Chain A
């Protein structure tokens, strides 16, 4: 394949060249341990603090509210475990049916350990019912954990409204913002969440690093013990290069936020309109909801998503699919199922997720190449015929 058109940025993103450049010295040259007394190691702590300040600035947070972790999954787990540990009498968790597996898998595990979990439903447009949330939170609720934006549909939940409801009831709120940080403006001074999780590799930073925002004054219990790092809040020698990378990525994200909202959104919208115009019997999932500017989840009737994805792969176009066959689970993605996408369409769902590195030419290429693939697979299909 000569040419890669990468449109799977909700899975992972390219490390920005500026990020890579800034990380490089921290492998073989400046490899010291920031905890060391000697200046060769100790000085590196300053670089970590710079990264923390950059990330705090992106979130409208204070530096001491940022804890670096190993990944988004660890951040999610830390927030939920912290709430259960600091409020041991509360045995109830509220979350949604469309959370990332990092939260859903943990909640299912906790149910096995005797906790009660309420899973909030969504409607066909992928939206929460805030009334259901208000009713779900009780005095026994240790934490509400609801994602900011969905990784598959791109649907954005109303975080401010959610926070208001949860905080009125005096409960802790965690949001998995892995997909929204860097794509949507966030300001922790305005949005009263207690915990917010993010991941480096979703915003053009490196893999293997995440962060957890913990609002100052929130009761906190660490998940990883046995080290004083991160102010005793996350033990383990710092992944220096990746933390430096995440800091740089956060700085770039702040500078490019407007571009996500304008140029990236315009490319996504053009792609959506052209695909709908060129492919009959096609629906856009979550089209009537607020969505991430970069995400298009689209279902082509009568055909199957793995076939679409692999035919695009032959052309160097990278997308992902929620179809049953792609995962080995044999089931259509839980998000597509919960959005009640009709069966004739559900299996033919693909997710196209852009980034600021995509170009108009790449979008043209997909507009040119994808409709004939859909037509060809439909020719093969026993469905959708008169």
Chain B
């Protein structure tokens, strides 16, 4: 039995914006039957106020309760937005809008975001990108590419193959590709670590911020299955990304304000402001 919250249930039982648009300006068609879920998205774009704005959006889906709910939520988020705003929508926005999804169902939100981006690409007449080395299929069962896995790992700070399965479905059937998924996770994490090293502590205060984050804050979050990573220090602004259980936590902002920021203020500098970046 899945633990779907009331909002997910509501969007499953009363999905918004179901249907087809005649003469759509863009269509996004993702997933397939073999994978057990598919989503077809239709958009209408209005340019009358000088900006490209989604004026109508409808979907059809073949999928489970959370696939229906995620598609419904995605259309509600995107409706009325400019295309530039829509381009910024991630699967996490869909999960947040729904107040959380079971871990094994996160891939439904990923499908929602993919359909949206595919519909915009279709509207803009963008050709599907030429296959690159990143596009080779890793998970044969669900036809998931290396690029999709890399993106999911990078954007969501995934660290285990199980998390990758939850986000992309890759590895969820026969499991043969799990060693490959682990290789990709290792590579992405190495790349990320290299990026982090670029932030050379400029002064003693910044070095102290790193130390408190690493030695006092991260271990405490780890107790609850969460974690965080420093992205940048810009003056008094400390930008972090949350990891593990923290990402999906309803109390994320409280944790950031009342724990991370408070601790840094107490121990390093009372002017510090902590922000969650992507």
Chain B residues closer than 8 Å to A302, beta-carbon distance: 62
Q: Tell me if A165 counts as interface (CB < 8 A to partner B).
A: no
Chain A residues closer than 8 Å to B232, beta-carbon distance: none
B36 lies within 8 A of A330 (CB):
yes
Q: Tell me if B40 counts as interface (CB < 8 A to partner A).
A: yes
Q: Mark B149-179, 1 if CB is under 8 A from A, else 0.
A: 0000000000000000100010011000000
B37 lies within 8 A of A325 (CB):
yes
A323 lies within 8 A of B172 (CB):
no
Q: Tell me if B245 counts as interface (CB < 8 A to partner A).
A: no
Q: Tell me if A176 counts as interface (CB < 8 A to partner B).
A: no
With A307-B64, A311-B13, A325-B36 as known contacts, state yes or no: A379 contacts B18, CB within 8 Å. yes
Expressed in whole angstroms, the minimum distance between the Cβ of B115 and any Cβ of chain A is: 11
Q: Tell me if A343 counts as interface (CB < 8 A to partner B).
A: yes
Expressed in whole angstroms, the minimum distance between the Cβ of B268 and any Cβ of chain A is: 43
Residue of B12, B34, B36 near A310 (CB, 8 A) is B12
Chain B residues closer than 8 Å to A238, beta-carbon distance: none
Q: Mark A305-317, 1 if CB is under 8 A from B, else 0.
A: 0110011001000
Chain A residues closer than 8 Å to B92, beta-carbon distance: none
B63 lies within 8 A of A304 (CB):
yes
In the bound assembly, the distance between CA atoms of A324 and B174 in angstroms comes to: 13
Which residues, 75 to 97 on A, are CB-close (under 8 Å) to B?
none
Closest to B41 in A: A382
B67 lies within 8 A of A325 (CB):
yes
B13 lies within 8 A of A307 (CB):
no
Q: Tell me if B145 counts as interface (CB < 8 A to partner A).
A: no
In the bound assembly, the distance between CA atoms of A304 and B104 in angstroms comes to: 17
Chain A residues closer than 8 Å to B68, beta-carbon distance: 307, 380
In the bound assembly, the distance between CA atoms of A379 and B173 in angstroms comes to: 29
Q: Tell me if B90 counts as interface (CB < 8 A to partner A).
A: no
Which residues, 1 to 53 on B, are CB-close (under 8 Å) to A?
12-13, 15, 18, 29, 33-34, 36-40
Which residues, 63 to 104 on B, are CB-close (under 8 Å) to A?
63-68, 104
Q: Tell me if B60 counts as interface (CB < 8 A to partner A).
A: yes
Chain A residues closer than 8 Å to B66, beta-carbon distance: 325
Closest to A327 in B: B104
Q: Tell me if A347 counts as interface (CB < 8 A to partner B).
A: yes
Chain A residues closer than 8 Å to B169, beta-carbon distance: 330
Chain B residues closer than 8 Å to A343, beta-carbon distance: 33-34
B60 lies within 8 A of A347 (CB):
no
With A328-B104, A332-B36 as known contacts, state yes or no: A306 contacts B64, CB within 8 Å. yes
A323 lies within 8 A of B33 (CB):
no
Which residues, 203 to 235 on A, are CB-close (under 8 Å) to B?
none
A303 lies within 8 A of B62 (CB):
yes
Residue of B38, B65, B141 near A383 (CB, 8 A) is B38
Closest to A330 in B: B172
In the bound assembly, the distance between CA atoms of A310 and B63 in angstroms comes to: 12
Chain B residues closer than 8 Å to A306, beta-carbon distance: 64-65
Chain B residues closer than 8 Å to A307, beta-carbon distance: 12, 63-65, 68
Q: Tell me if A45 counts as interface (CB < 8 A to partner B).
A: no
Which residues, 305 to 358 on A, are CB-close (under 8 Å) to B?
306-307, 310-311, 314, 323-326, 328-332, 343-344, 347
B12 lies within 8 A of A331 (CB):
no
In the bound assembly, the distance between CA atoms of A347 and B18 in angstroms comes to: 21
Q: Mark B115-154, 1 if CB is under 8 A from A, else 0.
A: 0000000000000000000000000011000000000000
With A330-B142, A330-B165 as known contacts, state yes or no: A324 contacts B60, CB within 8 Å. no
B13 lies within 8 A of A314 (CB):
yes
Q: Tell me if B61 counts as interface (CB < 8 A to partner A).
A: yes
In the bound assembly, the distance between CA atoms of A343 and B60 in angstroms comes to: 18
Closest to A344 in B: B33
Chain A residues closer than 8 Å to B13, beta-carbon distance: 311, 314
Chain B residues closer than 8 Å to A331, beta-carbon distance: 141, 172-173
A325 lies within 8 A of B62 (CB):
no
In the bound assembly, the distance between CA atoms of A383 and B32 in angstroms comes to: 10
In the bound assembly, the distance between CA atoms of A311 and B68 in angstroms comes to: 12
In the bound assembly, the distance between CA atoms of A307 and B105 in angstroms comes to: 13
Chain A residues closer than 8 Å to B34, beta-carbon distance: 343
In the bound assembly, the distance between CA atoms of A329 and B142 in angstroms comes to: 12
In the bound assembly, the distance between CA atoms of A383 and B66 in angstroms comes to: 18
B104 lies within 8 A of A380 (CB):
no
**Which of B18, B38, B64, B105 has the most A CB atoms < 10 Å from its CB?**
B64
A347 lies within 8 A of B36 (CB):
yes
A382 lies within 8 A of B12 (CB):
no
A383 lies within 8 A of B62 (CB):
yes
In the bound assembly, the distance between CA atoms of A70 and B37 in angstroms comes to: 39
In the bound assembly, the distance between CA atoms of A381 and B18 in angstroms comes to: 9
Expressed in whole angstroms, the minimum distance between the Cβ of B146 and any Cβ of chain A is: 19
Chain A residues closer than 8 Å to B36, beta-carbon distance: 304, 323-325, 330, 332, 347
Closest to B72 in A: A380
Pairs across A and B, CB under 8 Å, 22 listed: A304-B62, A304-B63, A306-B64, A310-B12, A310-B65, A311-B13, A323-B36, A323-B64, A325-B66, A328-B104, A330-B169, A330-B172, A330-B173, A331-B141, A331-B172, A343-B33, A347-B33, A347-B36, A382-B29, A382-B39, A382-B60, A383-B62
- Given A311-B13, A325-B65, 8 extra CB contacts under 8 A: A302-B62, A306-B65, A324-B36, A330-B36, A330-B169, A344-B33, A380-B60, A382-B61
Q: Across chains A and B, which 3 residue pairs bring their CB atoms closest together, nearest first?
A: A330-B172, A325-B64, A306-B64
